[in-house]
Amino acid sequence: MTGVLTLSNGQSFKGEWHGDAKEIQGEVVFYTGMTGYEEVVTDPSYKSQIIVFSYPLIGQYGVQTKHIQSKKIQAAGIIVAELYEGPIEKGAMTLASFAEGAGVPILSGVDTRSIIQNVREAGTMQSHLSPDEPLPDVWKPIQTQFFTAEQQDQEITQLGDGQLHIGLVDFHYKSSILEELLKRNCKVSILPYTIPTGKLDALQVDGLLFSNGPGDPAALKAFFSVYRDWAERYPSFGICLGHQVLASAFGANTAKLPYGHRGANHPVTNIKTGRVSMSSQNHSYVVDESSLEQTPLSVLYTNVNDGSVEGLYHPSLPVTTVQFHPEAAPGPAEHLELFDQFISTIQQKKKVKIHA
Amino acid sequence: MPKHQGIKKVLVIGSGAIVIGQAAEFDYSGTQACRALKEEGLHVVLVNNNPATIMTDKTVSDKVYFEPLTVENVAAIIEAERPDGLLATVGGQTGLNLAMALSDAGTLAKYGVALLGTNIASIKQAEDREQFRALMNKLGEPVPSSDIVYSIESALEFAAQIGYPLIVRPAYTLGGFGGGIAQDEETYISLVTQGLSASPIHQCLVEKSIAGYKEIEYEVMRDANGTCITVCNMENMDPVGIHTGDSIVVAPSQTMTDREYHMLRTSSINIIKALGIIGACNVQFALHPETSAYYLIEVNPRVSRSSALASKATGYPIAKIAAKLAVGYSLAELKNPVTGTTFASFEPALDYAVVKIPRWPFDQFQNANRKLGTQMKATGEVMAIERSMEAAFQKAIRSLDIPLDGFRLPALSNLPTNTLEQMAIEADDRRLFVLFELLLRGKSTNDLHNLTAITPYFLFVLKRIVDEWQNLQALTWSSMTPERLLKAKALGFSDQQLAKAWSISPSEIWGQRKSWSLLPAYRVIDTCAAEFRSLTNYFYSTWNGSSDERSGNRKKVAVIGSGPIRIGQGIEFDYCCVHSVLALQNLGYEAVMINNNPETVSTDYEVADALYFEPMTAEDILNVLDFEGITQVIVQFGGQTSLNVAAELEEAGITILGSAVDILDQMEDRDRFYAFLESIGLPSIPSFTANDAAEVPVYAEKLGYPVLLRPSYVIGGKGMTVLHNEQELTKWLKKTDLIFPVLVDHFITGKEVEADILSDGENVWVSAIFEHIEGTGVHSGDSISITPPVSLSPEALDTLSDTARHIAKNMDFKGLFNIQFVYEQEQLYVMEINPRASRTVPISSKVTDVPLVQLATALMLGASFQELEIEKLYNGQPNFTVKAPVFSHIKLPGLSPILSPEMMSTGEVIGSDSNASVAMQKALKGASQQLADLEAGGTIFITEPSLVFIDKTIWQERGFTFCTEASMPFAKWLKTDSKTAYIDLTPDPDKEQASLAAIQRLHVWTRQETVNAFENYVHALHGLTKGVLAK
């Protein structure tokens, strides 16, 4: 079966359709890492987006449960130049069958580089994926609002049984963030982002990790003052959307990048040390540096290529945020030490508390 | 951080002659480094005695010393030049070893020379296996159980603990020379013995064999600030056990999960940090195919063959950036030169697949041992890029320029399946084709995986090619649709393959494709997978997608490159192509380079205005010309490879600059060539053309023995042989598979002389004239030669120049060609006219100051001879220059080192001086560096009948003694420590003995003239060792 991806600028790209026939609209985004398709398609930050892989050969090592970042494929559609259908490792399943099981279509045999050039030149766009050629009657707007004031699932899940108790504020976290905490012997409470402050305080967590998540941080505007209160009372660490949310909570503005940063090769400079390191990134929105004047926050990391804000710290509070993904998965594992720093900050604070 | 203050003059060490394991990649990295340093305003002094390189061009550095790469020589250069810094990490293992020796000798400290980039302690820590293992243990990086041994006894002790198989790796050797995998004690003892002798410090690492693991490499860079990046990772298709230089390699890795990819990336970075590398570093891993357990195999703290490959595969110029890091820049302050907008501190993202296949010399050396192992044997490599792995493989296969039928090696089709299976297990240079053959015979990927341990992914890729081939054969041309044809093209099938499947002509497919608008697209290698705009014109073709923008639109000319380095077609042709590109640019043209050799300067995207990484077939070239809108090409500089496609290009309407294809054919076809000579009144060598084997002895009888047999259109004298009598001839005809017609020449015994000629058909410039030291019967590439000649009378030289002029005026040819002459007594014969640049062009250009290739290019494009003002450029050739060949026999067991009309050498060095003897000494010293030291004397084994030709006293005065079979049996002599040289001057030397001596790094002399040259050298050695400098 053939299929077509049509961009809202009118360009269309044909390919071979895998999976059940359905019609989808979603923001078209591209990922430039050469490995990591298992992690990418299951990363909740890609929720509802149509992902284009720049690397043309996808699927060579199948999909293994231990690598996936959430229980299902989060992307709405997957676009590849070539989908591998040969032998894979024992115990893995093919990407095609994994996607089919999740009801997510894959379009293969597509001129992905041209799509990326379109997005690069025209900026991020809505796109339409369907087995047939006709254009959609109505272009839906790009979905950016993934949060409501009322969260359906209000349950708090607890994992691990360590000395330190971390609250993971769940904006749809990647499982490797949780894994990094568990690896460091933390007890982790997964907190609904709508959790009332009283209920949070009752948990007596030692610190908060504001997770990654999809879409526009402004969708969580209603909670900014609450989060600021939390961050002023708990050692806090924000990742990706968590970083944007914390920055916003302290008064910063966010803006949308022309076509986002999604890849495993983004250099960032640590302003304090001058060191440059490679980071894994996946974001459309960015904290507007000029708006930081209105906040107590200072820049910790910047992007080497476009100078955008990649991390912040609070000069007097134990609050650190990063736009990139220190948990990697996929991508370079160069920033795992940020988890160690978060933990040691909490430990120091605890010590002070005990001694005080 | 800005560049280091206080560094104004830098000495760069080159890698010397091309040998297996250290080849053109160091011209590429050395040239980049020299240019990068000059860009910083530094005064660059270079020492390298390899004349065929771009890096030794006057314009690349400020001063060049063509000196042997010894501690004494470099110390003398340091004393004279007083450089502030030394860059030793772009000259391969030779450069690194020399820097360590200079540091140990206290030379660097004495003259206050700072080692730029990675410091000595770090280099030692990476190179010395004991120190390295200790550091890895500290870091918790797994290394296979191993032991450092200095003797057979301790090696056996280790074997008793660990068990076989074991790997033997000698310390500080090139391309893993002297090592191997031992399955049993006997092999083990022989490998350790060989390894201890190969290692300059008589040290070997013996380690547990992890053969069968995936072999993965990372190219890592680090700056003084501690910022680290991995430019590229690569996966070897051949599992651990075959040297990476002999492995088929793909980039990026294909079968590693993200977690594995980053596990090894993190490990690479931890290692480079712990070592404190500043610059580039190569890290090799063995990864268990199932458990993700890994071992570290090796770290090379310098640029390497792999870094050249990684640079070409990604567009990231590793050597250039490494040189900048060495003078104090940080990665984050350097721009990524490909995009021009992003920075060097990032990791390239590829959106295509890259395949490298080694090019082995066994098409030429059929008797050498072609089995692959831990010791590298390839002379060169090809690289291909496409958006599907299948197409990349097929492009790489086409690029090899060997006689194939698509992806099939015809010789294998007659072999029984069980023989092929054995060949798949044992792995020689034909393994890829063995796998194809087995798949064609219905073996499954699983069967092949069980035989070879190759990851199923790669076997699946090969199988898709085979399956598609079988599907295509079942179809007919008349039923072909554009969609179906595109599918075949997207899997990499050439028009020629398809034509064969459907028994039609390739031009029919070409024509139909054009009418269907089925043409390849051209994509840019931009380092960033299209994330950022890039205006670099570095292209590859693909049948999967549409074309990128091609910037620039001046009038254009394409230069056809020479493909992979092989015996007889070496780096000199790359030198010529690069100069042609420069000339085109000077003349206001856009120069478009087409080539597929990842090691060379010509495939540096910064050299030409546009670079296309493509196979050198007519179809691939015509597609590029079509895309570019080019109608004029230059084929004179890519050796035989570019010449071989000229006819098809011309047929397709392309103008071959300089001459019509008919002229090229006239010179290449021996019959037509002799007719040409006759027509212009020149004597030709008596000869006949034999159309079948039966005619050969008849003609030989008519001509009288000895006779020379030669096929037409060959590289490096391939298939040429001298036969002395009927018996030899009959024997030879029986064992050789000849393609007729074959030329039977009267074999002339005499003195060979050659020259490169610039001509516009009217005016002629005869460049440096080279006199060959060895007489006829030795390939010009393997003989020592000297320019200007020393034993020819002025009259003889005049006759020669007049003859050259006479020829040029009678050829409708513009550009550069080479004439090989021979004097038999007083009679001058023209043996060969090569209507293209030759091996001597770089030397000739360098010793005369007349840039032959640049001028030839100008002539081809219509410049008048007068405006070139050659007389003004010509320096009068103030010095004598000697070229000496360098062989790689030590890497090629079984290859006979006996000089013959078939070329064997892999490289060359020169020595220059106003005194011819001194020039000779320098050249021979440079050529002997890999061989037994002649300075200290020793024993020479000589076959009894050769004694009469030798003046023993000269040798004895210099501490040599002679052994013959009578005084010490050859086998016993071979076990002595004092052995240095083997001499057999009989007409049919003992091949077996000669080969055994050569593999032990001994001098092997089979010609009287060679012995005489070395006799003079030894005689003068003591005068020379005090550090003679070039003027």
The verdict on a CB contact (< 8 Å) between A36 and B258 is yes
In this structure, is residue B898 part of a structural domain? Answer: no
User: What pLDDT is stored for residue B107 in this prediction?
Assistant: 97
In this structure, is residue B230 part of a structural domain? Answer: yes
Last residue of a domain, one of B487, B516, B545: B516
Which residue among the candidates A38, A39, A67, A240 is catalytic per the annotation? A240
Would you say residue B819 has pLDDT above 80?
A: yes
- CATH number 3.40.50.1100 is the correct assignment for the domain at A2-130: no
Would you say residue A154 has pLDDT above 80?
A: no
Report pLDDT digits (tens) over A45-83.
Answer: 999 999 999 999 999 999 999 999 999 999 999 999 999
The residues in B 791-810 lying below 8 A from A, measured between CB atoms, are: none
**B219 vs chain A: nearest CA distance in angstroms?**
15
User: What pLDDT is stored for residue B217 in this prediction?
Assistant: 98
The verdict on a CB contact (< 8 Å) between B347 and A39 is no
Count, residues in chain B: 1031
Report pLDDT digits (tens) over B356-379.
Answer: 999 999 988 988 899 998 889 999
Residues B367 and B503 in one domain: yes
Residues B285 and B251 in one domain: yes
Counting Cβ atoms within 10 Å, is residue A122 exposed (0-12), middle (13-18) or buried (19+)?
middle
In this structure, is residue B890 part of a structural domain? Answer: no
Last residue of a domain, one of B728, B746, B764: B746
How many CB pairs below 8 A link A and B? 156
Nearest to A87 among B225, B456, B523 (CB): B456
- The number of helix segments (H) and strand segments (E) in chain A equals 8, 19
Residues B405 and B461 in one domain: yes
pTM for this predicted structure: 0.95
Count, residues in chain A: 356
**B260 vs chain A: nearest CA distance in angstroms?**
10
Percent of chain B with pLDDT over 90: 83
Residues B528 and B651 in one domain: yes
Q: For residue A133, indicate whether it is catalytic.
A: no
Strand pairing report for B180-182 and B655-656 = unpaired
User: What pLDDT is stored for residue A188 in this prediction?
Assistant: 98
Q: Where are the domains of chain A?
A: 2-130, 157-350
Q: Domain range spanning residue B717?
A: 687-746
Unique residue bearing structure tokens 């999809």? A214
Residues B636 and B570 in one domain: yes
Binned at pLDDT 50, 70 and 90, residue B675 comes out as very high
Residues B109 and B241 in one domain: no
3-class secondary structure, A150: coil
User: What pLDDT is stored for residue B366 in this prediction?
Assistant: 84
Would you say residue B734 has pLDDT above 80?
A: yes
Which chain A residue shows the shortest CA-CA distance from B346? A267
Distance of CA A86 to the CA centre of its chain: 30
Would you say residue B720 has pLDDT above 90?
A: no
Nearest to B225 among A112, A274, A334 (CB): A274
In this structure, is residue B1026 part of a structural domain? Answer: no
Report pLDDT digits (tens) over B219-254.
Answer: 999 999 999 999 999 999 999 989 999 999 999 999
Chain B residues with beta carbon closer than 8 angstroms to that of A35: 252-253, 256-258, 261-262
Report pLDDT digits (tens) over B950-962.
Answer: 989 889 988 999 9
Q: Give the CATH number for residue B187.
A: 3.30.1490.20
In this structure, is residue B819 part of a structural domain? Answer: yes
Residues B468 and B393 in one domain: yes
Report pLDDT digits (tens) over A230-271.
Answer: 999 999 999 999 999 999 999 999 999 999 999 999 999 999
Binned at pLDDT 50, 70 and 90, residue B708 comes out as very high
The least confident of B187-201, B429-443, B858-872 is: B187-201
Tokens matching residue A149? 């004031």
Contact by Cβ (8 Å): B123, B152: no
Binned at pLDDT 50, 70 and 90, residue B400 comes out as very high
Counting Cβ atoms within 10 Å, is residue B275 exposed (0-12), middle (13-18) or buried (19+)?
buried
Q: DSSP string of B940-973?
A: EEE-GGGGGG--HHHHHHTTEEEE-TTTS-HHHH
Residues B633 and B769 in one domain: no
Residues B933 and B819 in one domain: no
Contact by Cβ (8 Å): A54, B529: yes
Contact by Cβ (8 Å): B628, B558: yes
CA geometry: angle at B92 spanning B88 and B97, to 5°? 60
User: What pLDDT is stored for residue B188 in this prediction?
Assistant: 94
**B530 vs chain A: nearest CA distance in angstroms?**
6
**A38 vs chain B: nearest CA distance in angstroms?**
8
Q: Give the CATH number for residue B82.
A: 3.40.50.20
Q: For residue A186, indicate whether it is catalytic.
A: no
Residues B671 and B817 in one domain: yes
Residues B754 and B873 in one domain: yes
In this structure, is residue B215 part of a structural domain? Answer: yes
Strands (E), chain A: 2-7, 12-18, 24-31, 50-53, 57-58, 77-79, 82-83, 106-108, 125-130, 157-159, 164-170, 186-192, 207-210, 236-239, 254-270, 276-287, 298-303, 309-313, 319-322
Percent of chain B with pLDDT over 70: 98
Report pLDDT digits (tens) over B740-759.
Answer: 888 899 999 999 999 999 99
Which residue, among B1021, B1013, B1017, B989, has the nearest Cα to B784 in the 3D structure? B1013
Contact by Cβ (8 Å): B326, B538: no
User: What pLDDT is stored for residue B535 in this prediction?
Assistant: 81
The verdict on a CB contact (< 8 Å) between A114 and B545 is yes
User: Count of domains in chain B?
Assistant: 8
The verdict on a CB contact (< 8 Å) between B332 and A35 is no
Would you say residue A289 has pLDDT above 90?
A: yes
Which residue, among B578, B526, B553, B560, has the nearest Cα to B628 in the 3D structure? B553
User: What pLDDT is stored for residue B669 in this prediction?
Assistant: 86
| Gap between the Cα atoms of B296 and B294, Å rounded | 7
Report pLDDT digits (tens) over B777-818.
Answer: 999 999 999 999 999 999 999 999 999 999 999 999 999 999
Residues B159 and B261 in one domain: no
User: What pLDDT is stored for residue B1031 in this prediction?
Assistant: 25
Arch. (CATH architecture) of A157-350: 3-Layer(aba) Sandwich (3.40)
Q: For residue A128, indicate whether it is catalytic.
A: no
The verdict on a CB contact (< 8 Å) between A278 and B544 is no
In this structure, is residue B887 part of a structural domain? Answer: no
ipTM: 0.97
Report pLDDT digits (tens) over B918-941.
Answer: 999 999 999 999 899 998 899 999
Would you say residue A97 has pLDDT above 50?
A: yes
